[in-house]
Structure 1
Amino acid sequence: MAKKIVVAGVGMIPFCKPGAGASYVVMGAQAARLALADARAGYESVQQAFVSYVHGDSAAGQRVLYGLGFTGIPIFNVHNSGASGSSALYLARQAINSGEADIVLALGFEQMNPGAAQVQFADRPSPLDPFLAQCDPLVGAIDIPPAARIVGAAGLEHMKRFGTPLETFASIRAKASRHAANNPLAMWRNVLSAEQVLADTPMWPGVMTRSMACAPTCGAAATVLCSEDYARKHGLDARVWIAGQAMASDGPESLRSGDLRDGAGYSTSRAAARTVYEQAGIGAEDVQVIELHDSFAHNELLSYESLGLCAEGDGQKLVDAGDNTYGGRYVVNPSGGLLARGHPIGATGLAQCFELVQQLRGQADKRQVEGARIALQHNIGIGGAAVVTMYRN
């Protein structure tokens, strides 16, 4: 990390079900204004903007930010599957680190339709085709959405290799609901027991119930990054900064290892995490609070291991010991995560940033992790990208 990059401001609006909120234009502008107000900076001071979304037309970022002003700055639209929000954050950091800009806005939003996300263009090859071709012959062409098939297959791989029971994934989902109950910005705030999760409608019998998958969500979140010098010169909050950040796309093992976990981002997440630990000189054992990508409960357990929170195969032990929640070794997804806070795809990575900055500032209210000084963020998209970011106070 050539420069110390400060997280000067964060903003987020309450996430909601499709059709229950405003348009992406309104949501995105609200989140951007909140982040700028938190940073005590005007939009006219922003030198570049990176805007993430998946469900939207080209130049939607301009459509949103023109509501804040026509300043003529470069506005880049970022579309990178589930990792879109963190990809925008990554590019914003790069812009400052390179010297191209001193203060940059990263904004993410999503206005989704009801129902599971489907392939948007049926008249051409899907980016997920190679990943489905790997898992379908082994698990059968079960009639569920593509992402659920790929991640469910990865969870099934873990169950077969290590004897992980379905109850472990149910416990992860129940934990998410308990955390989200204390988050006023979360979409789902009802507390579920592991038994209720298991009793829910099966999506894939023996592998996944409906509660173990995130629901379509609308919302927006934003982050203002700046250099440490800029923060000092303009009196901005410089308490939280990025100690390490890495992005990885799929290597050959994702489709050739024969391990279905790799197709769901296991190896890319591991590669990005190792780079971040090396950059920061800090290992997973030093982290107190984590926001990781749990679009399915299976993602979360796999991420415990790919991020080095426990040894390979020990995810169930970490859950059984309570080392993923308050009073344990780590607090994972205090926001409720994608499963309960919600997953408006373009906003997710920036919502994770919002939560971790609140934690490191000591401003997370009932969700506050005591003594939080080092935080880890993990955001993935299948097909594929993984972004891991470490923050410090």
Structure 2
Amino acid sequence: MSAHVMVAGVGMTKFAKPGQNEPYTEMGAAAVRDALQDAGLPYDAVQQAYAGYVYGDSTCGQAALYKVGMTGIPVMNVNNNCSTGSTALFMARQAVESGVVDVALALGFEHMKPGALTSHWDDRPSPFDAFDAETDDLVGQPEIPLALRYFGGAGKSHMEKYGSSMLDLARIRAKASRHAVNNPLALFRNELSPEDVLESPTIWGGVMTRLMACPPTCGAAAAVVVSEAYAKKHGLNTNVRIAGQAMTTDYASTFDAHDMMKVVGYDMTAAASKQVQEQTGIGIEDVDVVELHDCFAHNEMITYEGLGLCPEGGASKFIADGDNTYGGKYVTNPSGGLLSKGHPLGATGLAQCYELTRQLRGTAGSTQVEGARTALQHNLGLGGACVVTMYQAQ
């Protein structure tokens, strides 16, 4: 990356259970207003906008943004499954970095329904057909919803390869709850013990309990990114810059390896992490705080290794040593992550950006990681795409 791109403003709504949320138009507009206020910019300063959501009709992005202003700017609607929010940020960052615009807005929102994720299109090929077929072959368990089989299967693969356990997964979920207690925007703020997690209803014997899965959630988040020159000219906050960013999609190994860890994006994660480190010259050992895609405790466990936070097969020790929390090597998901904060698909990546921007500014309040200077974000979507972003405090 050549030109510096600054995160001038961030905004986020409190996440809510389906049915307890405002419409997506109101949530999206609220997040944008907060991000603009944080940046100290009016809406008419925005030159392009990228609006991300998964479950919605065409031009939902315009519907949300028109609540804030109607200035005739290009609005691009983005859908990249659970990595949608970070994809919107990726595109906004590219627009600024390339010099096409000085100010771009990334917005993500989701207005979800209760229950497991389902497809709304049954009269055409599904983008998950190949993933489903591989999961059927490797996992079976047709009575279990597919998302649970994807990530539960990945965790089961890790257990069989490296000897990780249900206790490791329970410790991850308990850690998420401890962090969320301090986050007023998190959906679930009750602290859990590993025993609470293990004793919650069983979804898949020996593999998953209910508390190891994130809940369907509604919410919105937004970020305003600007060129460094524009920020300095207009006296904007230049405390946080995007030092590097990479997006990867699936490799042949997703299916050829016949391993559920690969099916759910392990190789995409590893490649994106490597690319960002090479772009920036910043090693993973220099990272202070991480927001990663913990849609299931199982995915957090394998992502430690995919990102390089610990060696392959080293997740159990990493967890037992407390290297994933305050006082350890990398404070992971200080927000409470998807497991406790919630996972409104289109908003997730930008909610991660919100948390990490505040961490690097030193304004994260009770979730603050002391002395945080470098932050790493990981946002994953099956089907598939993975976005890894490195932020640095100026």
- Give TM class, smaller chain: over 0.9
Q: How does 1:11-160 map to 2 (within 5 A)?
A: 11-160=11-160
Report the Cα distance in structure 1 between the residues aligned to 2:89 and 2:253, rounded to whole angstroms: 26
Cα deviations by residue, 1:294-313 (Å, 9 ceiling, x for unpaired): 00000101110000000000
SS in 1 for 2:371: coil
Report the Cα distance in structure 2 between the residues aligned to 1:374 and 1:334, rounded to whole angstroms: 14
SS in 2 for 1:345: coil
Per-residue deviation at 1:99? 1.4
Q: Is the 8 A contact 2:14 2:186 kept in 1?
A: yes
Report the Cα distance in structure 1 between the residues aligned to 2:185 and 2:207, rounded to whole angstroms: 30
Report the Cα distance in structure 2 between the residues aligned to 1:315 and 1:142, rounded to whole angstroms: 29
Match of 1:315 in 2: 315
Match of 1:254 in 2: 254
Report the Cα distance in structure 2 between the residues aligned to 1:43 and 1:128, rounded to whole angstroms: 38
Q: Is the 8 A contact 1:132 1:149 kept in 2?
A: no
Q: Is the 8 A contact 1:355 1:364 kept in 2?
A: yes
Report the Cα distance in structure 2 between the residues aligned to 1:111 and 1:138, rounded to whole angstroms: 32
Q: Is the 8 A contact 2:266 2:302 kept in 1?
A: yes
Match of 1:267 in 2: 267
Code of the residue aligned with 1:172 in structure 2: it is I
Deviates more, 1:126-135 or 1:225-234: 126-135
1:228 equivalent to 2:243? Answer no
**Superposition misfits of 4+ residues, deviation over 3 angstroms:** none
Report the Cα distance in structure 2 between the residues aligned to 1:340 and 1:144, rounded to whole angstroms: 22
CA RMSD of aligned residues (A): 0.8
Unaligned runs of 5+ in 2: none
Report the Cα distance in structure 2 between the residues aligned to 1:339 and 1:142, rounded to whole angstroms: 24
Match of 1:331 in 2: 331
Match of 2:375 in 1: 375
Report the Cα distance in structure 1 between the residues aligned to 2:62 and 2:45, rounded to whole angstroms: 17
Report the Cα distance in structure 2 between the residues aligned to 1:141 and 1:301, rounded to whole angstroms: 22
Per-residue deviation at 1:369? 0.3
Cα deviations by residue, 1:38-58 (Å, 9 ceiling, x for unpaired): 000000000000000011111
Q: Is the 8 A contact 2:7 2:240 kept in 1?
A: yes
Match of 1:365 in 2: 365
SS in 2 for 1:346: coil
Per-residue deviation at 1:144? 2.2
Q: Is the 8 A contact 1:147 1:382 kept in 2?
A: no
Report the Cα distance in structure 2 between the residues aligned to 1:224 and 1:138, rounded to whole angstroms: 43
Report the Cα distance in structure 1 between the residues aligned to 2:319 and 2:37, rounded to whole angstroms: 38
TM-score of the pair, normalised by structure 1: 0.99
Q: Is the 8 A contact 2:293 2:299 kept in 1?
A: yes
Code of the residue aligned with 1:392 in structure 2: it is Q
Match of 2:194 in 1: 194
Report the Cα distance in structure 1 between the residues aligned to 2:142 and 2:41, rounded to whole angstroms: 50
Q: Is the 8 A contact 2:138 2:259 kept in 1?
A: no
Q: Identity percentage over the alignment? A: 58
1:215 equivalent to 2:201? Answer no
Match of 2:179 in 1: 179
Cα deviations by residue, 1:226-251 (Å, 9 ceiling, x for unpaired): 00000001111011001110000001
Match of 1:302 in 2: 302
Report the Cα distance in structure 2 between the residues aligned to 1:120 and 1:166, rounded to whole angstroms: 33
Report the Cα distance in structure 2 between the residues aligned to 1:186 and 1:391, rounded to whole angstroms: 22
Match of 1:163 in 2: 163
Code of the residue aligned with 1:365 in structure 2: it is G
Per-residue deviation at 1:123? 2.3
Q: Is the 8 A contact 1:109 1:345 kept in 2?
A: yes
Q: Is the 8 A contact 2:138 2:258 kept in 1?
A: no
Report the Cα distance in structure 1 between the residues aligned to 2:124 and 2:302, rounded to whole angstroms: 31
Aligned positions, number = 393
Code of the residue aligned with 1:50 in structure 2: it is Y
Unaligned runs of 5+ in 1: none
Per-residue deviation at 1:15? 0.4
Per-residue deviation at 1:124? 2.2
